Chains A and B, each alone.
Chain A
Amino acid sequence: MYNFLQIRLSAFLLDVNTVGSYIPVALQVLIVVGLIGFLLWATHMLGPKRKTSDKLEVFSSGIGSHGEARQPMAIKYFLVAILFVLFDVEVIFFYPYAVNIKGLGWHGFYAVLMFVGFFLCGFIYILKKGALKWED
């Protein structure tokens, strides 16, 4: 502890290879969190509050609500997840291509075109098979 107090603060901060160089970041985080917390607290305390039943009612465009908004709807999560993974992977394959687009030239372009073509076949297949028809 004694050594820590003896330390020359400017040198400690300027040396990029120590933990000390993160002190500005820590300060920043503290200030950000503190400021946000303070602002939230202040608006909550200082703002006016009028709670009437009319005000708390759900409405849109001045029309009263009908029924329940939370209708059960079958989102086929499994299917969505699988399809998402497939098309996500397709996009991921574009990244290395995008980096090397010049180097790979027309040859690479045809290869990617073929890849997308095969993918399109799969897409047409799942459409025709009714994978995206959600209403039974």
Chain B
Amino acid sequence: MNALLISAVMGVLMMFSSFMLKSKSAVRNVALAGMFLILVANILDTYGWHLFNIPTEGMMHFDRFSLFFNSIAFACTFIFFLLSARDMEKVGINYAEYFSLIFFILCGIVLVASFQSLLILFLGIEIISIPLYILTGSDKRNLKSNEASLKYFLLGSFSTGIMLMGITLLYGHAGSFDITVLIKAGEKPSSLAIAGLLMLLFAMAFKVSAAPFHFWTPDVYDGAPTVFTSFMATIVKAAAFIGFMRLFSTAFYSLHDQWQMVIAIITALTLLIGNITAVFQQSIKRMLAYSSISQAGFMMLALFALNGTATEGLFLYVAAYSLATIGVFAVLIKMKDYTFEGFNGFARHHPFLAAVNTVFLLSLAGIPLTAGFLAKFYMLKAAVEAGGFLWLVIFAVLMAAVSVYYYFRVIQAMYFKEGDAPVSMEVSRPFQWVLGVLAFLIILLGVFPNALLYWFYF
């Protein structure tokens, strides 16, 4: 609750600071301070320090699941601000508004992570989506950015429509929006409930860009300004997954056997399409968009399994994926040329950046000693524990092997190719420190995953 209110107020505050603060660094500092405040307030909330006491029964439920995820998301956003806030200046003139929109998205993330009523889920998804449409099109003079924004808006609204239809049908079945009473255990669900479930499944699969609902992802991630792609592909996608997980593990758990096969097919398709298409990309930004689809495929395994390991694994995966992707994008923003060739000889000119970038890429590929490896391991373990679908596990391992190819192409370009790797802007020392901390965190989580998961229980 703390975080929700503070982030809403921060959004308004950033709006005002757009005409009250003259210098951009002041705006940035306000945003950083606000982000830190939200993170601290959320951690206080987790341990019982509520700033406000507002009754939310039946609408939202702030349990450890939601608060813990909020902390991860806020910490990632804070790191994202530290790394990339300076680069947002280059997108356009409305610098403070970009922060304001991101704070509003964080509001939506809190709603999606802690909803108990389907209405709040819908509200949260919309609050996340609408600022994202704007951020996608914020590079107004760029035709690709405009196209991406329009495409995202049309498809996103359409999928939201499907979600609303699903919610309506479920209301028709249960007479309630409360996810805890939506489907009673042991009861044979009506066809209304099944149709509603499927519609919600499709809409949520769209939001997390799982195949075959992934077609918007490459164009939107490619067209959006790179700083916002970084935010969209990590924290927002993670939040959509948490909402997905919360919905299906609470409302539809009793029907798990019936929709498990659908999720298994979606998972396999997402892994296949994401990985195979990423292999053929020439632009690293587009490759990362496809890689985010394939990583979504791995996160879908948590939904498929839906057990204790899956919950833990999803948190670890979300943290590992977000941290690594934010890092890769932060380095990518500094480059002049977004193709693989643009990275040729990067290691000779910027040895430190190349080294940390390698750590991020190794984590995304799932190489041991990085967080990405253990995250993938947890996911596969959860899927094995769920039982019965060994082909899916084997397929996921094969696809992880495919993913190594395109991540290592970047490493190969950085270390083993000749070139001058043109950098479009100078790399400051604090930026390098933050990247170093990020790489350290990824290795730490890869060695001691409990450094993160401990806080889920205590």
Residue numbers of A with Cβ under 8 A of B are 118, 121-122, 124-125, 128-129
Contact = CB atoms under 8 A, between A and B. Distances in A.
Contacts of A122: 15
B19 A118 contact: no
Contacts of B16: 121, 124-125
Contacts of A128: 19
Nearest to A121: B12
A122 B19 CA distance: 13
Nearest to A130: B19
A98 B19 CA distance: 35
A129 B12 contact: no
Interface in B7-51: 12, 15-16, 18-19
Interface of B: 12, 15-16, 18-19
Contacts of A129: 18-19
Q: Chain A binding site: helix, strand, loop or mixed by DSSP?
A: helix
Nearest to B16: A125
B393 to A, nearest CB: 49
A124 B19 CA distance: 11
Contacts of A125: 15-16, 18-19
Contacts of A118: 12
Nearest to B19: A128
A118 B104 CA distance: 13
A26 to B, nearest CB: 40
A128 B16 CA distance: 9
Contacts of A121: 12, 15-16
Contacts of B18: 125, 129
A127 B16 CA distance: 11
Given A122-B15, A125-B18, 11 more contacts: A118-B12, A121-B12, A121-B15, A121-B16, A124-B16, A125-B15, A125-B16, A125-B19, A128-B19, A129-B18, A129-B19
Nearest to B100: A125
B123 to A, nearest CB: 14
A121 B104 CA distance: 15
A129 B93 CA distance: 12
- Sorted nearest first, the 8 A-B pairs with minimum C-beta distance are A128-B19, A125-B15, A121-B12, A129-B19, A125-B16, A118-B12, A121-B15, A121-B16
A129 B97 CA distance: 11
A129 B12 CA distance: 14
Contacts of A124: 16
A121 B100 CA distance: 13
B107 to A, nearest CB: 12
Contacts of B15: 121-122, 125
Nearest to A107: B55
13 contacts: A118-B12, A121-B12, A121-B15, A121-B16, A122-B15, A124-B16, A125-B15, A125-B16, A125-B18, A125-B19, A128-B19, A129-B18, A129-B19
A48 B16 CA distance: 65
A125 to B, nearest CB: 5
A118 B19 CA distance: 17
Nearest to B94: A129
A95 B200 CA distance: 31
A118 B15 CA distance: 12
A118 B13 CA distance: 11
Contacts of B12: 118, 121
